[in-house]
Amino acid sequence: MEEKPARLTAKPSWLLTQLAVHAHRLASDSFGEVGARGYHYRILAALDEFGVASQAELGRRCSMDRSDVVAAINELAEQGFVERTPDPDDRRRNIVTLTKAGDRQLRRMDRALDKVQDDLLVPLSAEDRQNLTRLLTRLLTYHQRD
């Protein structure tokens, strides 16, 4: 491994950025093996956890831009993983529902992502992993507050 300037390696922001790039690559590769993308996982997970939702709700819950939500839902609908129907209360909105095939795809993606977590965090003990998750959650919550 090439030496890096100490000014960089001593900065948590630099370390987080480097690790985020690596984590994203691992997750993208793993999702690709099951014919999926990260946006698909976000949407399927939200539908599984919260139930039927409008496209706008999914965008907010998944921290996704409206155009990315539409594109991802189009892809998921083409594969039979979600159904999109007009909202009976407002025909301008679409309601999205997780299908049984979508639930199976989500389970495949869960297994792929679990392996990514193991690969990414291999040098950490179970306790260290819990502490890292707790600290990252605290930081993210702080910076996402309104």
Q: What pLDDT digit, counting tens, does each position of 94-140 carry?
A: 999 999 999 999 999 999 999 999 999 999 999 999 999 999 999 99
**Type of residue at 137:** T
CB-CB contact of 58 with 43 (8 Å) = yes
Contacts of 79-87 spanning 24+ positions with Cβ under 8 A? 79/35, 79/105, 81/40, 81/44, 81/105, 82/43, 82/44, 82/47, 84/55, 87/54
The pTM score is 0.88
CA dihedral 60, 64, 66, 70 (to 10 degrees): -110
User: What single string gives the DSSP state of each residue in 44-68?
Assistant: HHHHHHH-SEEHHHHHHHHT--HHH
Q: Which residue matches tokens 């040098």?
A: 123
In this predicted structure, the answer to whether residue 36 has a pLDDT above a threshold of 70 is yes
**Type of residue at 128:** D
pLDDT in tens, 56-91: 999 999 999 999 999 999 999 999 999 999 988 888
CA distances from 27 to 20, 79, 127, 129 (A): 10, 20, 23, 17
